[in-house]
Structure 1
Amino acid sequence: MSLKSNLATMAGKSSYWFLHNFMGGGSSLPGKITTKIDPDVLHELGKNYDVIIVSGTNGKTLTTALIVQVLQEKYDKVLTNKTGSNMVQGIVSTFLESSRPTAGKKGIAVLEVDEANVKPIVEQLRPKMFVLTNIFRDQLDRYGEIYTTYQKIIDGIKLAPDALVVANGDEAIFNSKDLPNPQVYYGIKHQAATDDRKAAPNTDGVLCPVCQHIIHFHYITYANLGDYFCPHCGFKRPDLKFSVNEISAKTPTNSRFMIDGHAYQIEIGGTYNIYNALAAYAVGREVGINPTQIKHAFETNQRIFGRQEEINVAGKEVTIILVKNPVGTNQVIDLLATESEPFSFIGLLNANYADGIDTSWIWDGEFERLPNMNIKQFETGGKRYRDITLRLQVAGVPAEQHRIQPDLEKVVADIPNMPTKKVYILATYTAMMQVRAILTKKGYIKGVKK
């Protein structure tokens, strides 16, 4: 390690120690300090690790966590950025907080990486594997449309041509470009391939990426994911190496399904989370972990903060769910539709950099479905409370059931007085973090995850 790298690492580790012992944490500042001194420090920090990079629009955090749990069936220690801080500085901080592998041995790291940061990360690390979840419209101010987002990812992948790409085969864009890398695909194959249908007109990626004609589906799992084919040019879903053969049950709190003939359950709802589990299964099988071990890993999975995290607030069962784009929001609305008990709904919208400053995506969310659910009270808040309030008003939410509260401290204070035992909070990233901080300060969340 060079003198510059040593100085940078010492400064970063010192700042990490101070922040986590006296300031309650800090997931990216140590990395910012370190990279300011040595922009290439990640090359030194990560050179003794086999690295798996997880990227895509939705599901990165949970997929990463599930992969870590699966790999822990084989490896004693797996390095990961569990806070979800997934840009260069946050990933540098992840390496700073961990002890280096024993001399002569390699560690293993599973890193959630922001789509726009794949290339700068791969320029310094040489990953063994990439895991791709999906590509949807998200933060148009940062990424642009889905094609530019995917290009940002493959610009990084091509720098590591020997790395295995484990991609969602139900996402047509992942099968649209030639890569030098070896590739395997996972997907959901739980229906007969007999239908011929099209996705809804405002769905992302409705055109064939080869010939630009409208793409067709034998079946759709959600959005533009499914068994796709183009009747014009013959483009179609690739062969799946790993597949969900059956979805047995879905509730807001768990999902049961079969992968390659083996029964699994995860304690989290939503079809999108079945995809996340399938991706983790695929990684496990690729590194030699058997189905029984993967089942054990799934049985011990823990809720990730803000990802269907359940918190008891003065007797109320509060579930916090991150939302950030139309597809993810619609999947969460699908999940709410499976709730058998009456509940209250809180929608919190911020537009900071980490959320994406363009909030127009809320108009593509299917909020019109909410008034037909068994929701007894609605509340909206956050910095852009006017936008989310108007969206629910246009969706038909009755004014007498709708409370408007911009202040998140007061939103949390309102929860004990809501008319239902169950409360669902749908929040953008920074709003979710603010609500968690308030709940922690009030003692509702114990042992803050760092």
Structure 2
Amino acid sequence: MTPPGCSRMTAVLAVWLGKLTLLALRALGRRGNAMPGLVVEKVFPRYLATALARLPQGVVVVTGTNGKTTTTKMVATILGERYRVLTNDTGSNFVRGAITATVEHASWSGWLRYDVAVFELDEAWAVRFVERVAPQHCLLLNVMRDQLDRFGEIDTTARLLGKVAAATTGHVVLNRDDERVAALAADTAAQVSCYGVTPELRELFPNDEELYGGPVTISSVPAAVELRTLPSPSHPAATLRVDGTDHDVVLRAEGPHNAQNACGAAALGLALGLDVDTVLVGLAKVSPAFGRGQSFEVDGRRVVLQLVKNPAGFRQTLRTLDMQTPDAVVVAINDDYADGRDVSWLWDVDFAVLSGLPTRLSTAGTRAADMAVRLRYDDVAVEEIEPDLEKALRSSVRSVDDDGHVVIFSTYTAMWALHAVLQRIGTALS
């Protein structure tokens, strides 16, 4: 049924407007992940609520500072084992991105043939989203210092997530090991469950206070899903505990942070009524999300692209090197608006892990020289400083053997540019 104030014909016109805008942008060679949604929102502001009200299982919102894109993909893949899932898998995580995904996947007659929508949303835009559409379920990941020029201090970000929790009508899943997130249980009338890691692993997953020297705290809150062991070269599966039983799952998305994200996604799947076996099957199918551990082959070498955007995320992503030592590492830092203009956060990342690696290291991007200076303070030798991203990539690939392995740690806009280059000169592996 069409909600009051938005007729069936209006909804159809909104879909046509969005689809035609999207087609025009694609014809011009642009991604068009946000503009169609912005146009529809301006002309038909009630469209999104109209369209999503028809979904039998409602809407799931995934938000937090780190891990949104990969965790959203995990949730969508898990729920896809039972339901038809609509999601904004391009990483466009403003309200306009959700609108674009909705009009793109609707039929020209306006129908959405899906059971549930799973949307990744930026912390601030998640609040604007829930003012339009009350989610049935939400997964709140963490609160870290990120883009202080946008969000201010992290207590502000926590309050934003609290508004999302308060608007959720069915089930809220919280990270018990982030004290600011765990406290949001008091902000919602919805059912609450938590996920977390075993006490033995807690120091590997610091919350914001712990990241800056605070003592590690162990939560006594029960976890619907708990991470018991991390993947290792000798045992490549992560072990998740559900209802007192341990289950192994091999995750294609590498890194300790993704094992933690998998627990959150699994807890959300259980909250929607899926059984443990179905959840584990879904998790095992999840390939790395766009730019988050994606692999490419370039001239016989494997190149892995890893997004980094704040101290906590960078520190966790560096730990992907625990599983395999690359032959070359590129750290690509831009300072465009989408990256955050203030890159002083790089001084809060511990790069000492790079100093002991037998690896060629270079820096790239608009702040390549600044990054090289930062690394020098951690006694990390930089062999090349090349602001041009494509030149830096090609130089690193040429520097390693035919079966070599290159890892690129990249901020957001540099990641998009490098991804385009890799698609042009290489072959996607995952």
Structure 1 length-normalised TM: 0.84
Give me the whole-angstrom Cα distance separating, in 2, the residues matched to 1:252 and 1:443: 30
Match in the other structure for 2:97: 90
Instruction: Confirm or deny that 1:396 pairs with 2:404.
Output: no
Deviates more, 1:11-20 or 1:102-111: 102-111
| 8 Å contact from structure 1 (residues 133, 279) kept in 2 | yes
Cα separation, partners in 2 of 1:342 and 1:57, compared to 1, 3 Å:
closer
| 8 Å contact from structure 2 (residues 327, 358) kept in 1 | yes
Segments of 4+ in structure 1 off by > 6 A? 101-106, 197-200
Instruction: Confirm or deny that 1:205 pairs with 2:188.
Output: no
Cα separation, partners in 2 of 1:344 and 1:87, compared to 1, 3 Å:
same
Cα separation, partners in 2 of 1:124 and 1:428, compared to 1, 3 Å:
same
Matched position secondary structure for 1:127? coil
Q: Mapping of 1:123-138 within 5 angstroms?
A: 123-138=131-146
Cα separation, partners in 2 of 1:180 and 1:268, compared to 1, 3 Å:
closer
Q: Could you tell me which amino acid in structure 1 is paired with residue 177 of structure 2?
A: D
| 8 Å contact from structure 2 (residues 106, 113) kept in 1 | no
Give me the whole-angstrom Cα distance separating, in 2, the residues matched to 1:20 and 1:104: 22
Match in the other structure for 1:170: 177
Instruction: Confirm or deny that 1:183 pairs with 2:192.
Output: yes
Match in the other structure for 1:57: 65
Cα deviation, residue 300, structure 1:
1.8
Match in the other structure for 1:439: 422
Cα deviation, residue 148, structure 1:
0.6
Cα deviation, residue 307, structure 1:
0.9
Name the Cα RMSD after superposition: 2.9
Deviates more, 1:127-136 or 1:175-184: 175-184
Q: Could you tell me which amino acid in structure 1 is paired with residue 249 of structure 2?
A: Y
Q: Deviations over 1:410-435 (max 9, x none)?
A: 12321331235111100001100000
Match in the other structure for 1:415: 396
Q: Deviations over 1:292-318 (max 9, x none)?
A: 222221222222121111111111111
Cα deviation, residue 251, structure 1:
5.0
Q: Deviations over 1:217-250 (max 9, x none)?
A: 46xxxxxxxx24xxxxxxxx42222222x21533
Q: Mapping of 1:33-432 within 5 angstroms?
A: 33-49=39-55, 50-75=58-83, 77-99=84-106, 107-160=115-168, 162-177=169-184, 178-181=186-189, 182-189=191-198, 191=200, 204-206=208-210, 216-217=215-216, 227-228=218-219, 237-244=220-227, 246-247=228-229, 249-250=231-232, 255-260=237-242, 261-339=246-324, 341-375=325-359, 377-398=360-381, 401-420=382-401, 421-432=404-415
Matched position secondary structure for 2:393? helix
Query: Where does structure 1 lack aligned partners over 5 or more consecutive residues?
Result: 208-213, 219-226, 229-236
Give me the whole-angstrom Cα distance separating, in 1, the residues matched to 2:201 and 2:351: 31
Cα separation, partners in 2 of 1:66 and 1:251, compared to 1, 3 Å:
farther
Cα deviation, residue 33, structure 1:
1.5
Deviates more, 1:62-71 or 1:36-45: 36-45
Cα separation, partners in 2 of 1:18 and 1:150, compared to 1, 3 Å:
same
Matched position secondary structure for 1:305? coil
Cα deviation, residue 69, structure 1:
1.0
Q: Could you tell me which amino acid in structure 1 is paired with residue 240 of structure 2?
A: M
Matched position secondary structure for 1:354? helix
Give me the whole-angstrom Cα distance separating, in 2, the residues matched to 1:163 and 1:307: 30
Q: Could you tell me which amino acid in structure 1 is paired with residue 239 of structure 2?
A: F
Matched position secondary structure for 2:125? helix
Q: Deviations over 1:155-190 (max 9, x none)?
A: 233234x23110111111123242132211111126
Matched position secondary structure for 1:266? coil
Matched position secondary structure for 2:208? coil
Query: Where does structure 2 lack aligned partners over 5 or more consecutive residues?
Result: 1-5
Give me the whole-angstrom Cα distance separating, in 2, the residues matched to 1:66 and 1:271: 15
Identical amino acids, percent of aligned pairs = 30
| 8 Å contact from structure 1 (residues 311, 317) kept in 2 | yes
Cα separation, partners in 2 of 1:120 and 1:190, compared to 1, 3 Å:
same
Cα deviation, residue 102, structure 1:
9.7
Give me the whole-angstrom Cα distance separating, in 2, the residues matched to 1:45 and 1:251: 46
Cα deviation, residue 104, structure 1:
11
Structure 2 length-normalised TM: 0.88
Cα deviation, residue 198, structure 1:
13
Deviates more, 1:164-173 or 1:29-38: 29-38
Q: Answer 1 or 2: which has greater helix percent.
A: 2
